[in-house]
Amino acid sequence: MSKIRHALNTRRADDFAQWYQEVISAADMAEESGVRGCMVIKPWGYGIWERIQRLLDARIKATGHDNCYFPIFIPLSNFEREAEHVEGFAKEMAVVTHHRLIADGEGGLVPDPEAKLEEPLVVRPTSETIIGDAMARWVQSWRDLPLKLNQWANVVRWEMRTRMFLRTSEFLWQEGHTAHENADDAKEHTLRMLEVYRAHAEDDLAMPVVAGEKPEHERFPGAVETWSIEAMMQDGKALQAGTSHYLGTNFAQAAGIRYQNREGAQELCHTTSWGVSTRLVGGVIMTHGDDDGLRVPPRIAPWQVVILPMLRDDDGDAALIEYCEGLRFALASQSALGEPVRVLLDDKPGKAAAKRWDWVRKGAPVIVEVGARDMEGGVVSLLRRDRLWGENGKPAFQSPARDEAARAIPAMLEEIQQALFAEARERREANVARGVETFDALKAFFASNGRYPGWVEVQWSKPTGAALDKVVADLKALKLTVRNVPIGAAGAEGACIFTGEPAVERVLIGKAY
Amino acid sequence: MSKIRHALNTRRADDFAQWYQEVISAADMAEESGVRGCMVIKPWGYGIWERIQRLLDARIKATGHDNCYFPIFIPLSNFEREAEHVEGFAKEMAVVTHHRLIADGEGGLVPDPEAKLEEPLVVRPTSETIIGDAMARWVQSWRDLPLKLNQWANVVRWEMRTRMFLRTSEFLWQEGHTAHENADDAKEHTLRMLEVYRAHAEDDLAMPVVAGEKPEHERFPGAVETWSIEAMMQDGKALQAGTSHYLGTNFAQAAGIRYQNREGAQELCHTTSWGVSTRLVGGVIMTHGDDDGLRVPPRIAPWQVVILPMLRDDDGDAALIEYCEGLRFALASQSALGEPVRVLLDDKPGKAAAKRWDWVRKGAPVIVEVGARDMEGGVVSLLRRDRLWGENGKPAFQSPARDEAARAIPAMLEEIQQALFAEARERREANVARGVETFDALKAFFASNGRYPGWVEVQWSKPTGAALDKVVADLKALKLTVRNVPIGAAGAEGACIFTGEPAVERVLIGKAY
């Protein structure tokens, strides 16, 4: 048995949901706000989101999109125009009905009946309808196309059961919206943005994903095609980490987005939309966290290296800090993963060991402790967060010379980024079963494969209508859902495991967040 | 008379308000959204805001603040705790009362009466009360202080009369919130952030400001002291461009933000808050715009240099674009104002002259046109947006060799940044009257000094109560307000121009947005 004394109280293997909450709290990332379904994102959690924003924003701009900003309020009538869309969101919309408060005569406040809005306003759950209005104004000719917009914003979907970062009534996201001349262009763009998400998830977040098309019954309300990236969390569940939708002419019809084509005729645009949210932070936690807290991939770590001088409140402290500053300056002038190294010298008061464990829980990729003895020897004590424990059950400190540490850390950060990705990908691959050929075998797989069973990739006949309803219901009874039809999966042959009819494609099935 | 054919229809001197709207439209910065009081910020307007965000965010982080994110919804009861605060905002609050829509039976939608919230939620007009709740949870001891937070967010204040960027029901801003051990620390921090705003306005936006304290009746609701930076627009009106508040213990009392002090006793924190908003973009327009559109200071220009190849849809275009690419690469590898030069090669279809005037209206600091003849001569045609017209009434093109342009443009950008600031400061200084010694003289100044009269700096006795009410009313009759008591203004001597009593300080008075 391991003698390791882990930095968290809960093991992933014991209670994953509890562990997840504990990481968020122990890493000081977020907390409940007291406002129903809304969280407070604290500096370390928000710092990770800021890194995600910066990296993804660069990818979105590099693919030719302009950022802009649309109103948070959407008139009710906008929603009424696209029936499926409103059907999908009406149950979870926050509605503004008044624009003033007055005293209630008992020391409290109430909405002023005199200030009731003529038309209630919805707090945006997503912005297709309001951005569609703008596109209808902005697009006249094929020369205005493609129109490629993006916004970073908060949205609200009134959720009954919330979980921090994964499902909150208010969340932060980016939503891209584009208009094109024809279906081919729009579909190509839908897949291009899916690829942007895949690259961001895998290269920036070190989170392996499966990109594929959602089955019909899992489409975005109003979409013709919905594509997703699905990531496997350490409990084997799927996290839908991003979606990209081809909307056909549905929203163009509703908003009147028409253009004069190259032959001079009026046509409807084909539009797309795609988004990722603060949910990604939850994905990072459940992909890379361990029993000691979070491990942040270096590319999205607010601080990649934290230097902790072991201060003793005596005359030696000044020299020790100067010694640490030497390392900080040497690192800050280096680059890793294409950017200057982000290094913090944390000389706040507090016991060195307590501070070390705080940074372990937060998941800083490299932690460097420096005591008086290190300084005398010209060395530092260095801990890689991704290889925390030595074989002796103690933290696996390395003791490079200070100058050697400054030279080695940039490459080490790149190595950690790769190692976290490789570890997650291997785990994912080990937990996708591809030999499941009957529905009974599927049931057996999920019944016998432990608490965290992973996914199966099976072949099906792509049923529709009542046949699809039955598949969905049968899976729901097992708490399973069809995640997507992976791009590049093996071809199908033989029978659908649900209908017995000839199979046409392979689908991923698993539990999901 | 000038023969110049300006790029806008409206002259500033003729109708400043109309001119302002025309710049926003002609520079493609924003437009009305169709949602009452809310605007759509278009790519060029949003790009300027993104630059403002990035530069100010760096200043806020450099002064030790962490970014985080708090809920957009605030329970009504939070507001009830600070009487002045709610008094100040209750009249303009958007209130969420329902969390679901249902069909109204006539093809429309209505808020579901079954989904009425027990306690209405306010869409944040500002976040003191909700961040105060968090501070109360996070602060235990003096060791937790100072606590320095900032968030970038949208806020809503239901405005009856709106004007794009200056006054909209929803706007984007940053709001900083800090907690301190005592009044001295908190007041010092209030002034530090005011100085951050001053530096940002003057150094980044090239917009000269007067920093000073707001008089009592202009304080933020619930504040003990409110400080502002005031900028003079080209119509002589003041724009309050940023505010910083010392809140005393008012909000700490309301939210229960207490800490154990160094002697072990419980004490209330002293808090501050401070914010700037998308209003700054309006300030940039009214500070730097001219009769040809916007002039964006290089530091906040999304593109600092725009290269326009004069394409002819023939075989020569490829060589011309390659020639332009040479300039683009040479510039992109240079720095100006401490960052890599942001240069766009705009080879979209369209007539060269029309594109030039679009970029003039948008205010790109340097526009470089390149035609076949330029290429043959190894030169480019360069236009400085801040010195658009030659003495002959034509655009003042320079014709440097291409390589010389690449070398000269970085310094030119720094020069333009300085020139715009110097021009605005000179105009401001020329329009502040300091010799006004009686209220009659003040009246005469505003009556006789043309349509855009500027400000007066007068001395007053800092009246309070009924005496202050009278001053405010007398000024209001002239559509004037007290802007602030400038830091570093000359001392007062002699009589107050309002009360005749001994003067104690000097105040700025003017019309304002």
Task: Provide the pLDDT confidence category of residue B26 given band limits of 50, 70 and 90.
Answer: very high
Find where tokens 């099935």 sit: A509
Instruction: List per-residue pLDDT tens for chain A, 513 residues long.
Output: 457 999 999 999 999 999 999 999 999 999 999 898 999 999 999 999 999 999 999 999 999 999 999 999 999 988 888 888 888 888 999 999 999 999 888 888 999 999 999 999 999 999 999 999 999 999 999 999 999 999 999 999 998 899 999 999 999 999 999 999 999 999 999 999 999 999 999 999 999 999 999 999 999 999 999 999 999 999 999 999 999 999 999 999 999 999 999 999 999 999 999 999 999 999 999 999 999 999 999 999 999 999 999 999 888 899 999 999 999 999 999 999 999 999 999 998 888 899 999 999 999 999 999 999 999 999 999 999 999 999 999 999 999 999 999 999 999 999 999 999 999 999 999 999 999 999 999 999 999 888 899 999 999 999 999 999 999 999 999 999 999 999 999 989 999 999 999 999 999 999 999
B158/A75 CB distance under 8 A:
no
B123/A96 CB distance under 8 A:
yes
CB contact B99 to A (< 8 Å): yes
Distances (CA, A) of A100 to A50, A110, A453, B159: 34, 9, 52, 11
CB contact A256 to B (< 8 Å): no
Whether residue A369 contacts residue A308, with contact meaning beta carbons closer than 8 Å, is answered with yes
Cis omega before residue B309 (within 30°)? Answer: no
A-chain residues within 8 Å CB-CB of B39?
A: 71
Helix (H, G, I), strand (E, B) or coil at B158: coil
**Buried-exposed string A367-377: b where 16+ CB fall within 10 A, e elsewhere:** bbbbbbebbee
pLDDT score of B2: 58
A-chain residues within 8 Å CB-CB of B121?
A: 35, 94
Q: Which amino acid, B234?
A: Q
A-chain residues within 8 Å CB-CB of B105?
A: none
pLDDT score of B400: 98
CB contact B54 to A (< 8 Å): no
pLDDT score of A107: 81
Helix (H, G, I), strand (E, B) or coil at B5: coil
Give the nearest chain B residue to A39 (CA atoms).
Answer: B71
Which residues, in sequence order, are bridge partners of residue B178? Answer: B148, B272
Whether residue A159 contacts residue A35, with contact meaning beta carbons closer than 8 Å, is answered with no
Closest of A299, A492, A260, A278 to residue A414, by C-alpha? A299
B75/A130 CB distance under 8 A:
no
Give the separation between CA B108 and CA B104, rounded to whole angstroms. 5
Whether residue A211 contacts residue A198, with contact meaning beta carbons closer than 8 Å, is answered with yes
Q: Is A317 exposed, middle or buried (0-12, 13-18, 19+ CB in 10 A)?
A: middle
CB contact A349 to B (< 8 Å): yes
Report the gap between the CA of B180 and the closest CA in chain A (Å).
17
Give the separation between CA B293 and CA B22, rounded to whole angstroms. 8
Report the gap between the CA of B49 and the closest CA in chain A (Å).
10
Instruction: State both tokens at B326.
Output: 């040479």
Instruction: State both tokens at B367.
Output: 């526009």
CB contact A68 to B (< 8 Å): yes
Give the separation between CA B280 and CA A155, rounded to whole angstroms. 25
Greater pLDDT, B407 or A108? B407
Whether residue A57 contacts residue A172, with contact meaning beta carbons closer than 8 Å, is answered with no
DSSP state of A10: S
Name which of A91, A107, A149 is nearest B100 (Cβ-Cβ): A91
Cβ–Cβ pairs < 8 A, chains A and B: 193
Residue B314 CA, chain-centre distance (Å), reads 45
Give the nearest chain B residue to A158 (CA atoms).
Answer: B99
Q: Which amino acid, A14?
A: D
CB contact B372 to A (< 8 Å): no
Name which of A72, A100, A108 is nearest B91 (Cβ-Cβ): A100
Report the gap between the CA of A489 and the closest CA in chain B (Å).
39
Tell me the pairing of strands B339-340 and B335-336.
Answer: antiparallel
N residues, chain B: 513
Give the nearest chain A residue to B168 (CA atoms).
Answer: A71
Share of chain B above pLDDT 70, in %: 100
Give the nearest chain A residue to B113 (CA atoms).
Answer: A95
Which residues, in sequence order, are bridge partners of residue A95? Answer: A122, B98
Helix (H, G, I), strand (E, B) or coil at A89: helix
CB contact A58 to B (< 8 Å): no
Closest of A273, A231, A359, A310 to residue A82, by C-alpha? A273
Give the separation between CA B247 and CA B221, rounded to whole angstroms. 9
A71/B40 CB distance under 8 A:
yes
> Dihedrals φ, ψ of A39, to 5°?
-110, 160
Report the gap between the CA of A503 and the closest CA in chain B (Å).
40
Within 2-31 of A, beta carbons closer than 8 Å to B belong to 31
pLDDT score of A2: 58
Give the nearest chain A residue to B71 (CA atoms).
Answer: A38
B98/A99 CB distance under 8 A:
no
Report the gap between the CA of A75 and the closest CA in chain B (Å).
7
A46/B35 CB distance under 8 A:
no
Give the separation between CA A203 and CA A195, rounded to whole angstroms. 12
Closest of A436, A487, A493 to residue A461, by C-alpha? A493
Whether residue A25 contacts residue A16, with contact meaning beta carbons closer than 8 Å, is answered with no
- Least confident window among B2-16, B365-379, B399-413, B418-432: B2-16
Report the gap between the CA of A51 and the closest CA in chain B (Å).
12
B122/A133 CB distance under 8 A:
no
> Taking every pair of C-alpha atoms in chain A, what is the biggest distance, in angstroms?
82
Mutate to test the interface with B, among A25, A28, A32, A40 (most CBs of B within 10 A): A40
Give the separation between CA B153 and CA B67, rounded to whole angstroms. 11
B76/A34 CB distance under 8 A:
no
Give the separation between CA B253 and CA B21, rounded to whole angstroms. 44
pTM score of the predicted model: 0.97
pLDDT score of A108: 86
B170: CB partners within 8 A, 6+ apart: A71, A72, A73, B37, B38, B154, B155, B156
At how many degrees (to 10) do helices B16-26 and B279-288 cross?
110
Name which of B40, B98, B349 is nearest A97 (Cβ-Cβ): B98
At how many degrees (to 10) do helices B183-199 and B43-62 cross?
140
CB contact B154 to A (< 8 Å): yes
> Dihedrals φ, ψ of B409, to 5°?
-65, -40
pLDDT score of A376: 96
Torsion of CA B16, B17, B20, B26, to 10 degrees: -100
B108/A42 CB distance under 8 A:
no
- Cα-only R_g, chain A: 26
Contacts 24+ apart (CB under 8 A), B334-340: B334/B406, B334/B409, B334/B410, B335/B410, B336/B298, B336/B304, B336/B409, B336/B410, B336/B411, B336/B413, B336/B414, B337/B298, B337/B299, B337/B413, B337/B414, B337/B417
Within 461-480 of B, beta carbons closer than 8 Å to A belong to none
Whether residue B310 contacts residue B352, with contact meaning beta carbons closer than 8 Å, is answered with yes
B-chain residues within 8 Å CB-CB of A97?
A: 95-98, 111
CB contact B32 to A (< 8 Å): no
C-beta atoms surrounding B357 within 10 Å: 17
> Dihedrals φ, ψ of B114, to 5°?
-75, -15
Tell me the pairing of strands A455-460 and A30-32.
Answer: unpaired
How high does pLDDT run on average in chain B?
96
pLDDT score of A449: 85
Q: Cα–Cα–Cα angle for B188, B190, B196, nearest 5°? A: 105
Give the separation between CA A370 and CA A381, rounded to whole angstroms. 6
B109/A79 CB distance under 8 A:
yes
CB contact A344 to B (< 8 Å): no
- How high is the ipTM of this complex? 0.96
Which residues, in sequence order, are bridge partners of residue B451? Answer: none
B31/A137 CB distance under 8 A:
yes
N residues, chain A: 513
CB contact B87 to A (< 8 Å): no
Report the gap between the CA of B127 and the closest CA in chain A (Å).
12
Residue A414 CA, chain-centre distance (Å), reads 21
A-chain residues within 8 Å CB-CB of B50?
A: 67
Give the separation between CA A305 and CA A412, rounded to whole angstroms. 11
Q: Is B167 exposed, middle or buried (0-12, 13-18, 19+ CB in 10 A)?
A: middle
Give the separation between CA A62 and CA A332, rounded to whole angstroms. 27
Give the separation between CA B300 and CA B293, rounded to whole angstroms. 16
B91/A97 CB distance under 8 A:
no
Which residues, in sequence order, are bridge partners of residue A272? Answer: A178, A246
A-chain residues within 8 Å CB-CB of B107?
A: 80
Mutate to test the interface with B, among A24, A32, A35, A52 (most CBs of B within 10 A): A35
CB contact A140 to B (< 8 Å): no
CB contact B161 to A (< 8 Å): no
B92/A77 CB distance under 8 A:
no
Give the separation between CA B211 and CA B227, rounded to whole angstroms. 7
B401: CB partners within 8 A, 6+ apart: B378, B379
